């Protein structure tokens, strides 16, 4: 009708009227987002929570937050391996579900996680495998219940999303270590026992073996920037970490010792992801960086690209903090069990990470 305001005009004029007073302008200004592209600030870090240590006779909850585990024999091997350690395995209700490449629906995979944290019979939770899909569960988790029932939570690769989110939201120390379907070799078992069972403040140092060569060839580290630094240990799979930037499920990386690993990524892809960490401010303020392994990340035939060492030099050298590469972290048969959230010292010259406190209570 003539003389009447349209819905858009009414909303606009109402908004302008509300903003007319100085007090309203101050309130509105405080609520406005930052500059274009600005990321939400990390939530205040909750108090550090160390889960109870694993003990003989304990029960380990087994879950599949990501891809389906299609071979049941691998589940049998996992259960037998736990039994050989004097532990009992308890399978999640939906472990044998399948929806495409996922181990069931998001709601069901999340329900298994929530149930394992709430179950008083379960002492620790071990993820059977990674893949993709853990990040889809983050809005479905019962964070209050998880905070009330702290337990050791173990995995790597895609499980990085859960390791970081659990620590960020509850303060829980989580463990970047072998998956349930990984090799239960002596190296992996030793580090898991020392960290999760014995509660040792260990020094993670590669085991260098000369074999029949003049000098050790395998498991070598390379110093990128020498020096020592101290901070809270945080990190995981580079691809998964970058995929949840801006989600509100990441901890504050300031004053952290950062560790990273990946698999089957071309150097340009690693370059892109490290650039993203830089632009997001995650690399600013870290006290050191330990680069693990990047299996099958070669520059390709013809050597026409940058290499992973080139990319690491480009992004990590300018930080001016201790940096080394080659740590036994990532998609390799033998790997450390690293506690996220615990204070450590990095020695880039020696290629070591030393825990300054135990990770379990």
Catalytic residues: 157, 261, 331
Burial of 320 (0-12, 13-18, 19+ CB in 10 A): exposed
Q: Is 251 in contact with 164 (CB distance < 8 Å)?
A: yes
Q: Is 345 in contact with 202 (CB distance < 8 Å)?
A: no
Cα angle 289, 293, 299; round to 5 = 110
DSSP string, 22-85: HHHHHHHHHHS--STTPPPPPPPPPPPBPPPPP-TT-EEEEE-SSB----HHHHHHHHHHHHHT
**CA of 277: how far to CAs of 123, 145, 165, 235, 283, in Å?**
35, 31, 17, 12, 6
C-beta neighbour count of 307 within 10 angstroms: 15
- Residue 304 CA to its chain's centroid (Å): 32
> What CA–CA distance (Å, rounded) separates 196 from 339?
9
Structure tokens at 39: 């990321």
Residue 91: name the closest of 39, 130, 126 by CA.
126
Distance in angstroms between the alpha carbons of the first and the last residue of the chain? 72
């Amino acid at each position: 009708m003539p003389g009447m305001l349209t819905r858009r005009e009414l909303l606009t004029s109402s908004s302008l009227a509300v903003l007319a007073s100085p007090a309203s302008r101050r309130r509105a200004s405080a609520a406005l987002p930052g500059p274009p592209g600005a990321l939400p600030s990390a939530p205040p870090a909750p108090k550090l929570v160390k889960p109870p240590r694993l003990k003989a006779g304990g029960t380990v909850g087994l879950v599949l937050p990501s891809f389906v585990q299609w071979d049941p024999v691998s589940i049998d091997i996992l259960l037998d391996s736990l039994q050989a350690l004097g532990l009992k395995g308890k399978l999640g209700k939906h472990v044998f579900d399948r929806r495409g490449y996922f181990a069931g629906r998001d709601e069901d995979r999340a329900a298994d996680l929530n149930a394992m944290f709430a179950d008083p019979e379960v002492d620790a939770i071990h993820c059977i495998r990674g893949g993709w899909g853990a990040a889809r569960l983050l809005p479905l988790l019962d964070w209050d219940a998880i905070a009330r029932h702290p337990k050791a939570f173990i995995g790597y690769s895609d499980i990085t999303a859960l390791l970081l989110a659990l620590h960020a939201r509850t303060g829980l120390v989580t463990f970047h270590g072998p998956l349930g379907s990984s090799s239960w070799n002596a190296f992996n078992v030793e580090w898991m026992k020392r960290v999760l069972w014995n509660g040792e403040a260990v020094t993670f140092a590669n085991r260098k073996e000369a074999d029949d060569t003049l000098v050790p060839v395998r498991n070598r580290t390379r110093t990128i920037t020498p020096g020592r630094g101290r901070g809270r240990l945080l990190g995981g799979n580079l691809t998964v970490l970058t995929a949840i930037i801006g989600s509100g499920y990441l901890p504050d990386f300031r004053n952290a010792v950062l560790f990273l690993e990946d698999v089957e990524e071309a150097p340009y892809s690693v370059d892109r992801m490290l650039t993203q960490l830089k632009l997001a401010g995650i690399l600013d303020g870290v006290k050191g960086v330990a680069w693990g392994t990047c299996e099958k990340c070669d520059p390709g035939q013809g050597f026409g690209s940058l290499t992973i060492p080139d990319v690491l030099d480009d992004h990590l050298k300018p930080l001016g903090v201790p940096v080394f590469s080659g740590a036994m972290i990532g998609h390799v048969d033998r790997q450390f069990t690293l506690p996220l959230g615990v204070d450590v010292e990095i020695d880039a010259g020696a290629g070591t990470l030393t825990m300054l406190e135990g990770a379990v209570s």
